[in-house]
Amino acid sequence: MQRTFLSRPCLALCGLLLCVTVRADGALHSLWELHGKHNTVYLLGSIHVLRLSDYPLSPVMLDAYRDAKSVLMEVNLEEISSQQVQAEMLGSAILPEGKTLPEVLGKARYGRAGALAREIGVELSLFDQYAPWFAAEAISQLQLTQLGFQPEAGVEMYFMQRARNDGKSVAGLETVHDQISVFQNMSMDTQAEYLVSSLEQAHDLPKEVDSMVRAWQRGDAQWFANQLQSELGQDPRLYQAVLVARNRKWLPKIEALLNDDRNYLVIVGTGHLVGPGSVIDLLKKDGIGATQR
């Protein structure tokens, strides 16, 4: 299964199991509660893109939204429409003058990536002027769109629209620049491996997506933890950059919300809430328990 659904931070730009309390009916969701002295902070594991057929969302998730006065996401998606952000995204996606994707990947790796891309109906040469990380994201977006997944139908977009209509504030835990920097700060070799790994996983994506959505809907944190380990666990640098380092930066902001008297809904990719170094794991180490709903 592609890591897009678990943690990939830039998909929106391009286009879960400790301290658990089980409900009496045995039903769980990808939603956790943190309790401050005077408020509740809900942590919702997201799938950044969904199909329209995956709605409606669970009543438990909708209740958490209604109970919250403010919504926080990985990034405030309203930022993306600004010309400045669009220009930064484009500038970061294009390779420096004189560089090409075949040169960055090398002959053997480019040939391998090209063959894998053709298996899913994509010609890799279309991305010869782009950084490997962007090629990986764009190809994933294209494949997901072909499978019926739409960024505008993702969890964040759904709740952002509701918050806008309901007059609730929306903010980001990080900026668009922060998300782009996750990839820009990777070496070209790491980006190249990221692209090849993404394409290797793409072949199995069509038969994995239904299992992924069902696991998310039933709050099967172990399923996601296993997937995350198989996708990112083999590359500690990528695991740290895409997940753990960002979780650590978010932690003080999330913990600070517990000192407020308002309730909050915090929405992040499900991969940020499972496994070692996850937000749930880091909270536990700070003595803050999270209850899965």
Considering the domain boundaries, does residue 250 fall inside one?
A: yes
Considering the domain boundaries, does residue 50 fall inside one?
A: yes
Helix axes 188-202, 107-119, angle to 10 degrees: 30
Domain limits at 285? 3-95+150-185+219-292
Q: What is the 3-state secondary structure (H, E, C) of the chain?
A: CCHHHCCCCCCCCCCCCCCCCCCCCCCCCCEEEEECCCCEEEEEEECCCECHHHCCCCHHHHHHHHHCCEEEEEECHHHHHCHHHHHHHHHHHECCCCCCHHHHHCHHHHHHHHHHHHHCCCCHHHHCCECHHHHHHHHHHHHHHHCCCEHHHCHHHHHHHHHHHHCCEEEEEECHHHHHHHHHCCCHHHHHHHHHHHHHHHCCHHHHHHHHHHHHHCCCHHHHHHHHHHHHCCCHHHHHHHHHHHHHHHHHHHHHHCCCCCCEEEEEEHHHHCCCCCHHHHHHHCCCCCEEC
pLDDT of residue 19: 31
Q: How far apart are CA 116 and CA 139, in angstroms?
A: 11
How confident is the prediction along the chain (293 residues), in pLDDT tens digits per residue? 344 444 455 544 444 222 333 333 347 999 999 999 999 999 999 999 999 999 999 999 999 999 999 999 999 988 887 888 888 888 999 999 999 999 999 999 999 999 999 999 999 999 999 999 999 999 999 999 999 998 889 999 999 999 999 999 999 999 988 988 988 889 999 899 999 989 998 888 888 888 889 999 999 999 998 888 777 656 787 788 889 999 999 999 999 999 999 999 999 999 899 988 999 999 999 999 999 99
pLDDT of residue 6: 47
Considering the domain boundaries, does residue 207 fall inside one?
A: no
pLDDT of residue 275: 87
Structural domains of the chain, count: 1
For tokens 């170094």, what's the residue? 277
pLDDT of residue 233: 58
Considering the domain boundaries, does residue 108 fall inside one?
A: no
Considering the domain boundaries, does residue 198 fall inside one?
A: no
Considering the domain boundaries, does residue 54 fall inside one?
A: yes
pLDDT of residue 136: 94
Helix axes 188-202, 132-146, angle to 10 degrees: 20
**Is residue 141 exposed (0-12), middle (13-18) or buried (19+ Cβ within 10 Å)?**
buried
Considering the domain boundaries, does residue 18 fall inside one?
A: yes
pLDDT of residue 18: 29
Considering the domain boundaries, does residue 203 fall inside one?
A: no
